[in-house]
Amino acid sequence: MLVVKFGGSILNGAEGLQLACGEVEQLPRPLLVVVSAFEDVTNRLERVAELALVQKSEAEQAADSLFEDHRQIAREMLSTTAYKSWDQEVREWEERLRRIIEGLAIVGELSPRTLDLVVHFGERLSSSLVGRAISAPVISATNLLITDENHRFARVDLELSRERVQEHLQPLLQIAKRDKGEVGADQLSQVIEERGGVEGSPEVEGRRGDAVESSLREENASGIVVTEGYIARGRGGEITTMGRESSDFSAALFGELLGASEVRIYTGVPGIMTADPAIIPDAQTIPQMSYGMAREIASLGAKVIHPRTVRPVERANIPLVFNDLSGAVSVIDGDESGEAFSITALYQASLLTFKVDRTDTTLSPLLDLLLRTTPFIRSTRSGRILHVLVPIAEYNPETLIRKAKVADLILEYSATPVSVVSSVRQQGIGGEDATRFLSAIGEIPIRSIWSDSTERSISALVDPIHASDIVRALHRQFLSGL
């Protein structure tokens, strides 16, 4: 079984959708296709929510424009019959979003819960289009992945999600393994009963009764099911999201829960590269790296990997493959023997500093809360001073202190905007590497030097205006001529 994910950089209009559909046709079955919202749609939906607070009519116009853009793609990609069916489903979402805009205009406040509800329509629009374009059923991730109620950065309940996936998704993919037309009546009836409209159960989008039976026979032929990344559902039933750019994480979770043979991520760049190609035009594809190396570069700013993506496939020992549609490939697996090396940059980060009253004062409640709500990189403690590095440009530590109930323990605190520029080597950073790292930076001022506990990386915390220059200098120092 293969799990593949297509992101917004691929799904960037009718042409991108057509390319993705063409790739799907070449892939083995059974196949789970995980999709992100189309390019820039999440940003546009966030803007709709913000506009609703101050200018309802402009928010409605922005929403209408977004839906019309999807309709234009659908007209180019779908048959007349398929378009009518799709449009009927979309009109319901359109009306729901209009009611949300109305509510936001009245209340005048945008909560994380409501923002999750608004942005999730991007993934629903994308999955519905992809599903109909490839004639495959769609099972929404909001009925498969169960999380806590921490909106905008929800944490997955693995056991509840496993139950949902095994009960509602896996049987559909197992049916797909059979030869065409050989689904037994008993098995078919069982799946129809499970999926045919029972209140609260996951649904095959837009299909009920006889239509479900028909679609199951079709998907037995196609061997494909479509779902979404990024979105999920909290234990209480509300829509949640798992952090921006987390669709890769969703794909990795599905791979783990299904016991897939491979999780494949299609990107707009040729695999994982030695540096950001927007800064280093001659950056090269890294053909292989270990799970540990991948986790490190993800936490330190490699845009192509979401920081939470690696753990699920690592737990299940499943290869994670990044590639573009031209065939460039980077494989992440358990092999630690390679010589992978990368220059990473996290351009928008904050260094949080807390000074406590005594050297034996613990700030565990603060760190625990931070870990639940923010993908922080690492922390270091020296006497009465705690430094924490978080991948957020503007961070308000006062709110964190209040929620953690540690205000009486902290004498001073601050948040300083920084960029984090790093060299990461799979075989570890040695003394010679550290010397070359500092030599490449030269006279550019740095705030501090950090390294990870495995000695796989060395990082400089610098003023954001110097970050790109340091990336170029490090790439010349370590990787020029490769």
Model pLDDT, residue 453? 67
pLDDT at residue 227, rounded to an integer = 97
C-beta atoms surrounding 75 within 10 Å: 12
Together in a domain, 163 and 17:
yes
Contact 136, 4 (CB under 8 A): no
Strand partners, 156: 147
287 in a structural domain: no
Question: Per residue, what are the HEC states of 302-358?
Answer: CCCCCCCCHHHHHHHCCCEEEECCCCCEEEEECCCCCCCEEEEEEEEEEEEEEEECC
Q: What is the pLDDT of residue 181?
A: 38
Residue 430 lies in a domain: yes
| Interatomic CA distance for residues 147 and 99, integer angstroms | 25
Among all chains, which residue has been given the structure tokens 């300083």? 416
Asked if residues 317 and 332 have their Cβ atoms less than 8 Å apart, the reply is no
| Residue 151: strand, helix, or coil | coil
In this predicted structure, what is the pLDDT of residue 374?
76
- The answer to whether 416 touches 350, Cβ cutoff 8 Å, is yes
- The answer to whether residue 143 is domain-embedded is yes
- Residue 332 lies inside a defined structural domain of this protein: no
DSSP letters along 54-117, please? H-HHHHHHHHHHHHHHHHHHHHHHS-HHHHHHHHHHHHHHHHHHHHHHHHHHHH----HHHHHH
Please state, in angstroms and rounded to a whole number, the distance separating the CA atoms of residues 16 and 22: 10
Regarding whether 360 and 249 lie in a shared domain, the answer is no
Long-range contacts of 216-219 (CB under 8 A, 24+ apart): 216/137, 216/172, 216/175, 216/183, 216/188, 216/191, 216/192, 217/181, 217/183, 217/188, 218/135, 218/137, 219/136, 219/137, 219/172, 219/175, 219/176
Question: Per-residue pLDDT for the chain (482 aa), expressed as one digit of tens each?
Answer: 999 999 998 999 999 999 999 999 999 999 999 999 999 999 999 999 999 999 999 999 999 999 999 999 999 999 999 999 999 999 999 999 999 999 999 999 999 999 999 999 999 999 999 999 999 999 999 999 999 999 998 999 999 999 999 999 998 887 655 444 333 334 433 443 444 433 333 344 434 333 443 444 444 456 899 999 999 999 999 999 998 889 999 999 999 999 999 999 998 888 999 999 999 999 999 999 999 999 999 989 888 888 889 999 999 999 999 998 888 899 999 999 999 999 999 999 999 999 998 898 988 999 988 887 777 678 888 999 999 998 888 888 898 899 899 999 999 999 999 999 999 999 999 889 999 999 999 989 998 898 876 789 999 999 999 999 999 999 999 987 55
Domain's final residue, options 194, 227, 258: 258
| Residue 469 and residue 347 in one domain | yes
Q: Is residue 202 part of a domain?
A: yes
Type of residue numbered 211: A
208 in any annotated domain: yes
Q: Are both 362 and 254 inside the same structural domain?
A: no
The confidence score (pLDDT) of residue 450 equals 87
Pairwise CA distance, residues 428 & 450, whole Å: 14
Does the residue 304 lie in any domain? no
CB 462 within 8 A of CB 446: yes
Rg (CA), the chain: 24
Cα separation, 275 vs 421, in Å, equals 11
Query: Which residues on neighbouring strands pair with residue 416, listed in sequence order?
Result: 351
Q: Which residue has the tokens 């921490």?
A: 150
Please indicate, yes or no, whether residues 234 and 119 belong to a single structural domain of this protein: yes
Whether residue 53 contacts residue 109, with contact meaning beta carbons closer than 8 Å, is answered with yes
We report the CATH number of the domain holding residue 193 as 3.40.1160.10
- Do 107 and 14 share a domain, yes or no? yes
Question: What's the pLDDT score for residue 189?
Answer: 36
DSSP-assigned beta bridge partners for residue 232: 240
In a domain, 74, yes or no: yes
For the chain, how many structural domains are there in total?
2
Residues belonging to the chain: 482
Residue ending a domain, choose from 232, 258, 284: 258
Its pTM stands at: 0.86
Q: What is the CATH number of the domain that holds 422?
A: 3.30.2130.10
> What's the pLDDT at 182?
35
Last residue of a domain, one of 241, 258, 275: 258
Q: Rounded CA gap, 434 and 59, in Å?
A: 52
- Name the residue range of residue 190's domain: 2-258
Residue 353: φ, ψ to 5° = -125, 130
